[in-house]
Amino acid sequence: MKKLVLALSLVLQAAAPAHAAPPPVRPEGVPVKDYPWQALPGETNEALERKGDSKRGERLYALCRSCHLASAGGTADGSIPRLAGQHSSVLIKQMADIRSGVRHNSTMYPFAAVLADPQDLADLAAYLEGLCIQGDHGHYDAADAEHQVTVGRALYDKACRACHGPSGEGSRHKGYPMLAGQHHSYLLRQMTEIRDGRRPGANRDMVRIIGSYSDDELLAVAAYQSSLVLPGNVCVVKRPIRKR
């Protein structure tokens, strides 16, 4: 395992942002709203059809650990998303979108580009999907939290529940992301980017639904989404015991 991690580290250094070729971009003249949701039918579909090896995926996760943490829980401030427990279908598509440049993420691209082929995508996604969800993620905790969650719940039940589920569980089969346990700030940022046309790979139904939402409405929806919990899927993060 140490040899593999070292090899991955060396490859990653070679793929650092300063030396990596920029990812391909959306074809010139194609409006964001007309770009297909399933942007990489070849690589994405091939990875979805393969059986992921979670043990191999754990070794590949050495590439991601420094940012997404050992738990794959990301950071409570929303700058780094939680990956643990997310559906493998969602993870595969997002990694493939980043690799192709359909989803622009200059920080993630060099890491995603190191993955060799669809099997790597399937293996890494299988490992992450099998991890438990940490209960101490970033909630919306401002003074008006109760009000925002109430407003957000009404909006969620009206437009989001049908796809993302009553508990924010999403759908592995349909590729709808699990929202429960995700950080509030991350959810808000992603919905804002989808609404504003900065996520061309987003589901067109999603673009249509939140296209008219105001900033306040998105804030409320994200507040409610981050309050959702999946019974049985949450684990307690063990903190190191300090010696006295």
2-14 confidence digits (pLDDT tens):
444 444 444 444 3
Residue 170 lies in a domain: yes
Lowest mean pLDDT among 7-21, 100-114, 120-134, 224-238: 7-21
Q: What is the mean pLDDT of residues 187-212?
A: 94
Q: What is the DSSP letter of 169?
A: -
Residue 240 lies in a domain: no
Residue 24 lies in a domain: no
CA 190/CA 50 separation, integer angstroms: 28
CA 57/CA 4 separation, integer angstroms: 12
Q: For the stretch 109-138, what's the b/e string if a residue is b when 16 or more beta carbons lie within 10 angstroms of its beta carbon?
A: bbbbbbbeebbbbbbbbbbbbebbbbeebb
Domain containing 76 equals 2-19+32-134
Looking at the 3D structure of the chain, how many domains does it have?
2
As a whole-number percent, the residues of the chain with pLDDT over 70 amount to 80
The pLDDT, as a whole number, for residue 236 is: 67
Residues 71 and 169 in one domain: no
Lowest mean pLDDT among 36-45, 71-80, 90-99, 113-122: 36-45
51-68 confidence digits (pLDDT tens):
999 999 999 999 999 999
The span from the first CA to the last CA of the chain, in angstroms, equals 34
The domain that contains 217 carries what CATH number? 1.10.760.10
Q: What is the mean pLDDT of residues 189-210?
A: 94
153-189 confidence digits (pLDDT tens):
999 999 999 999 999 999 999 999 999 999 999 999 9
The pTM (predicted TM-score) of the whole model is 0.82
Residue 204 lies in a domain: yes
Q: Contact at 8 Å (CB) between 99 and 139?
A: no
6-38 confidence digits (pLDDT tens):
444 444 443 333 334 444 444 333 343 443 444
Q: Contact at 8 Å (CB) between 90 and 175?
A: yes
Residue 213 lies in a domain: yes
